Amino acid sequence: MPVSTAAITARNRDNARHSTGPRTPEGKAVSSQNARKHSFTVATHQILASEDPAEYAAFEDEIITIYDPKSPREHLAAVDIAHCRWALRRFDEAELALLDTCLSNESQSPGEALGFHCITGPGEPISPALTSLDLLYRYRRPWDRRHQQALREFDQARLDRNREERQTLAKERAAMLQDREAYKQTAQQQKQEDLQTNTARESQELRPIETTPGVHKQEQQTPRAGFVSSSAVRASKSLLTSEAKAVA
């Protein structure tokens, strides 16, 4: 007898209620790492359980101090550079441990041991050490590319910021020159207006005063205070002469 879709759905829901999977955030975080074996294929930045978050924070601060970002875009690029270098440091440590383990031979130098692993005869299997190194380098390449992209992004962000700053400075200088030219024009116009005002005032002060002829003659005939005219002097002399003759 065929089973209906509703019955299948109800049975699946009942089975889901009896699931023994993790329910807490801590349990889910642990179970999410069940498939992880070596963390070399991690595509995003993570702090592993064996790593110290405080050590990474100090490492990131050091990278940011070295690159000294001046804009949010530069800061993001610097943080991405720190992520990549933190991951590349893992590969450096893994490569060192692999070489130290596989190439340690008392009778051979490290170079001779590496050459021995690289040389294989016809039909002979490839050395496990060489296979491990090849796998390690393959996992490292995406982080190398990402690191180069982060460096290019930081350089481009710095170039764009410098160009924007130069454009802003050029606009400020142009506005300053424009304001200075407007000030010169205003000062020159004010100077011309002041010159015209002074010229009009001087011409008004130098205009001849109109007087009545009779009054003018009277003013000429009337002596000033303390001033004796020549006709009065002659009259007084003639009077003194006539009086002297009469006495004689």
* pLDDT in the model for residue 235: 63
H or E element in which residue 27 lies? helix 25-31
- What's this model's pTM, rounded to 2 decimal places? 0.53
* DSSP per position, 187-244: HHHHHHHHHHHHHHHHHHHTSPPP--HHHHHHHHHSPPTT---HHHHHHHHHHHHHHH
pLDDT, averaged across the chain: 78
Helix (H) or strand (E) holding 164: helix 128-205
Instruction: Give per-residue burial for 79-114: e unless 16+ CB within 10 Å, then b.
Output: bbbbbbbbbeebbeebeeeebeebbeeeeeeeeebb
DSSP states along 71-126: SHHHHHHHHHHHHHHHHHHHHHHHHHHHHHHHS--TTS-HHHHHHHHH---TTPPP
pLDDT of residue 131: 81
How do residues 138-164 score in pLDDT, each as one tens digit? 999 999 999 999 999 999 999 999 999
pLDDT higher than threshold 90 for residue 61: yes
Tokens of 65: 């101090």
- Say what the pLDDT of residue 236 is: 64
Selected residue with higher pLDDT from 110 and 73: 73
Sign of the four-CA dihedral 238, 239, 240, 246: positive
pLDDT of 84 higher than 90: yes
**pLDDT greater than 90 at residue 194:** no
Q: How far apart are CA 95 and CA 26, in angstroms?
A: 32
Pick the more confident residue, 238 or 201: 201
Dihedral of alpha carbons 128, 129, 133, 136, sign: positive
Cα distance between residue 41 and residue 87, in whole Å? 11
pLDDT for position 188: 84
Is the pLDDT score of 83 beyond 90?
Answer: yes
pLDDT value of residue 213: 56
Judge residue 59's burial from the number of C-beta atoms within 10 Å of its C-beta, 0-12 exposed, 13-18 middle, 19 or more buried. middle
User: Which one has a higher pLDDT value, 225 or 68?
Assistant: 68
Per this entry, what is the length of the chain?
248
Quote the pLDDT of residue 248. 56
Are 3 and 12 within 8 A, CB to CB?
no
**Is 106's pLDDT higher than 70?**
yes
Give yes or no for residue 32 having a pLDDT over 80: no
pLDDT of residue 198: 79
Q: Which of 97, 68, 94, 93 is nearest to 81 (CA)?
A: 68
Distance CA 220, CA 213 (A): 11
- Biggest CA pair distance of the chain: 189
